[in-house]
Every structure is written in structure tokens, then in C-alpha cells.
Structure 1
Amino acid sequence: MGWLVGVVAVVALLGFYLTFTAKRVDRLHARAASAGRALDAQLVRRAATSAVLAEEHGEPDLYAAARGALDARVEDREAAENDLTRLLRKQELDSSEASDVAVIAASRRVALARQVHTDFVRDALAVRSRPLVRALRMTRRHGAPAYFDIDDPTLPSVTQVTSRATRD
């Protein structure tokens, strides 16, 4: 009778562990997908504010890059975002102008969203690589999440500082 209780306890613990692991796999994939959507939203926001900045400053190359980032296909998105980042870094951004501040803020939000997305993708890929998860095919309902590899989109702000000679 004691061995029966032991077997039932082991089966119950194994069932609990497998249920916990399956839920963790589902939860990590859902978080990675959600972080991917949040990153996409921030990238669209940055491209839109960059287009406004380009129109205000009369920068046709920046406008073309912003439109390219907005209209890019999924497979070309990383390259389009890298082109936009490269052109934004060439701009002299003034922290006293609203459109410049909006682009700087949007770039910082993109950097944060990319970091969160990368963390969740890394965690989801790590749990996918566990032998028990692979053996029981717990990831069959989920596609493998992918990293979104772009340059660091954080932009420095340039504040116009008046010299002491002009103030005196």
C-alpha cells in the first residue's frame, strides 16, 4: 500500500512539472510575440516622427528612409530601420525643437522595446532547447521567435549653448 502512495505521488509531481513547463513555454512565446508587436509599434512611431522631422528640415533622403522603413516588407525591415538610424545620426538634433525631441524620444523607446524583445526571444529560445521540451514537442504550436537585429537606435541630443561672450 505504501508503494502505491509513492507511485501516485511521483506521477502527480511529474504531471505538475510537465504542466508547469508547458505553461512556461506558452507564456514565454506569448511574451516574445507581444514584445515583437510592441517593437513594431515603436518602430512605426519612430519612422513617422522621422518623416515629420524630414519634412520640417527639408531632408529628402531622411524622408525617403522614413517612408522606406514604414513601407518595408518583413524580410527587408531590419535593413530599412538601419538605414533610417544611420541617417538620423547624421542630423543635428536640437533639444529645444519639438520635432527633434519627438524623434529622440521615439528612438529611446525603440531601444528599450528592442531590448525587451531580445530578452524574451532569448528566454523563449532557451526553453525551446531543453531536452524534455523537445522530446515532448511542447513548442509545436509556436513558431521559433526571431531576434530583430538592428543598430542601437539611441540618438544623442544637441543643445544649443550660447557662449559667454554673446550673453555679456
Structure 2
Amino acid sequence: MSGAWWVLITVVVAVVLVASWYSFQLAKRLDRLHWRLLSTRDALDRLTVRRASEARLLVASGLLPPDGAASVDRAALDCLTGEEALFVMDDLDRRRDGLHDGVVDEHAVAERNERESALTRAVRETLTPDERDRVAEAPGGRELLDSLDMACYRVQLARSMHNLDVTQVLHLRENPWVRLLRLYGRAPAPSTIDFDDATTTVGA
């Protein structure tokens, strides 16, 4: 076998090895992003429960005005006692087999997101900048307010991180190499989680 053949074989082997390594790295990154999405969704589920609980603790303190307290308490209670549901319809969530006989219920998903948005609106409309100052000056008010704000911030952060990961997954799935080899397997394309989580007004 001539030297030219050995060079050709070496080049082909090198190309195959590089292509295999590149494919493996892409598949690993996709898998890692998919699992991170699921982890963030689980975390967001817990964080929204924490947010609703903190909101009810603030209501129970008696520091909020009656109308605002009733609005926040009703919205928080709805979040805590509403039908268990996912945040999205993409069928990626590993918990789906335990919900609605394995079928993601579009109506339940919409209601879940609306309940979270309703609590956000209730908190935002009740805790205006002036109301925040008044609550913070009351005994124990600052601690309750800080706990609720932290819970709200963590919900915002988790949702933002989740949606950023979704953007990365969708971008990666458009990679020609990923599409050619179907490196995402049978995993469906993920969806962003969209509910109102801005509990503070601008300048608050």
C-alpha cells in the first residue's frame, strides 16, 4: 500500500473521529440542557408554592389594607389549592405521566399560569411603594416583606433561567448536524413558561 493511501486513510479516520467527538459533545450538551430545564421546572413549582405561602403570611399579619389583603389572600389560596398542573404544553416534563392520565391538559396549564399571574397582580397592586414603606415601618413588617420579596425574586429568576435555556435548546436544535443526526432523539421541542411574575412596580 502506497504512502498516499496511508495518508488518505489517516485523514478519513481523523475526520470520523472529529465528527464523532463533535456529535457526542452536541448530544451531551442537549441532554444536559433538557435535564436542566426539567430541574428548573421542578424548582419553579416549589418556588411558586413558597411565594404563595409567604404572601399568606403577610396577609395573616394584618398589616395590609383590608381590600388588598383579601385580594392577595384569595389569589395565594388559589395557587396553593388549585388543580395540580404543569406550566407548559410541550410534553417534555418527566412528571406528566402522573397527571391527567399521562396527557397534558391544555386548560389546566392555562389555569395554572393564570393563577400565578393573578397572585403577581394582587401583590403588585396591593404593595405599592407607599404601602411598602408603611408595612416596613410596622413591627415585623420588614421581615415579612423581605421574605415575600425574596420568594418573588426567586420565582422570577427561575422562570428567566428556564426560558433562557429553552432559547439555547431551540437554537441548538437548529444546528444542521443536530438535525441531520437527530441528536435530540424523541425529546419534543421545549416551550417557554409565560406568566406575569413582576410583583413590583417600576421604581418600587
Q: For this structure pair, what is the TM-score category when the shorter chain's length is used for normalisation?
A: 0.7 to 0.9
2:77 aligned with 1:67, yes or no? yes
2:136 match: secondary structure: coil
The residue that corresponds to 2:42 in the other structure is: 37
How do 1:62-141 residues align onto structure 2 when only pairs under 5 Å count?
62-70=72-80, 71-72=82-83, 73-74=85-86, 75=109, 76-91=111-126, 92-93=131-132, 94-96=135-137, 97=141, 98-141=143-186
Q: State how far apart, in whole Å, the 1-side matches of 2:8 and 2:148 are.
A: 67
Report the RMSD for the aligned CA atoms in angstroms. Answer: 2.2
CA positional deviation for 1:141? 4.1
CA contact (8 A) 1:111 1:154 kept: no
- AA of the residue aligned to 1:45: R
> Gaps (5+ residues) in structure 2?
1-5, 87-108
How do 1:43-62 residues align onto structure 2 when only pairs under 5 Å count?
43-57=48-62, 59-62=69-72
CA positional deviation for 1:49? 0.7
Structure 1 residue ranges, 4+ long, deviating more than 3 angstroms after superposition = none
CA contact (8 A) 1:82 1:151 kept: yes
> Gaps (5+ residues) in structure 1?
160-168
- The TM-score with structure 2 as length reference comes to 0.69
- AA of the residue aligned to 2:43: A
Q: State how far apart, in whole Å, the 1-side matches of 2:61 and 2:186 are.
A: 47
Q: State how far apart, in whole Å, the 2-side matches of 1:95 and 1:150 are.
A: 28
CA positional deviation for 1:121? 1.3
